[in-house]
Amino acid sequence: MAKAVTRIKKTQTAVPASLEQADALLVKIGQTQNAINEIEADLAKKIAELRTEADKKLAPLTLERDNQINSLFSFANPRKARLTEKARTVKLSGGVFGWRWTTPRVELARSEEDTISMLKRTGNEAYVRVIEEVDRQKLLAERPVIPGITFSQKDEFFVTPKQEAKKPKTLTKAIDR
């Protein structure tokens, strides 16, 4: 469901000529955002209603389709060797069915940490990946002088107009990005 926007931010803003003009503009912004929020809430409500209606219609069809696939599998699986002699896909006038190999994947019998320890202990450290990345949080905290690294911060203008909507949580929506 769509969340109501309660704060709008803009990085490049023309400033009204007086506080009175700014106040009048805030009122207009609040009214405009209320209209936007109302339309979005109505849309979200209609989408939810449509989704519920579609789910009710889809449930029996999905069950029927699943039963049909199970029936086809029950026919095909005992005949798999004969059906796949030339190809793993069986082509018929009504469509195709067959078997395919999934993408290979690694399954661990123990936790990731235990597996890493075991690989290192048994001389298989080549199968342990070490990820190096820039520690941006530490750089921001310490702000060292290092060639090629700079620190930037923008001063963004924001507006929080009075609105009809109850605001349990502030949701910011950037309009110029």
In a domain, 105, yes or no: no
Domain count of the chain?
Answer: 1
The answer as to whether 119 is a domain residue is no
Range of the domain at 64: 7-99+158-174
Residue 170 lies in a domain: yes
Q: Identify the residue with better confidence: 153 or 12.
A: 153
- Which pLDDT score is estimated for 159? 61
In a domain? residue 91: yes
19 falls within a domain: yes
Mean pLDDT of the 104-130 span:
93
Mean pLDDT value of segment 159-171 = 65
Residue 118 lies in a domain: no
**Residue 128 covered by a domain:** no
Residue 162 near residue 28, CB atoms below 8 Å: no
Please tell me the distance from the alpha carbon of residue 40 to that of residue 103, in angstroms, as a whole number: 41
Question: pLDDT tens digits for 143-156?
Answer: 999 999 999 988 77
32-43 pLDDT, tens digit each: 889 999 999 999
In a domain, 124, yes or no: no
Q: CB-based contacts of 22: which residues, under 8 Å, 6+ apart? A: 15, 16
pLDDT at 27 over 70: yes
Decide which of 111 and 9 is more confident: 111
Query: What's the CA gap between 120 and 113, in Å, rounded?
Result: 11
Count of C-beta atoms within a 10 Å radius of residue 54? 10
| Distance in angstroms (rounded) separating the CA atoms of residues 156 and 62 | 50
Top-ranked range on mean pLDDT: pick from 144-148, 157-161, 170-174: 144-148
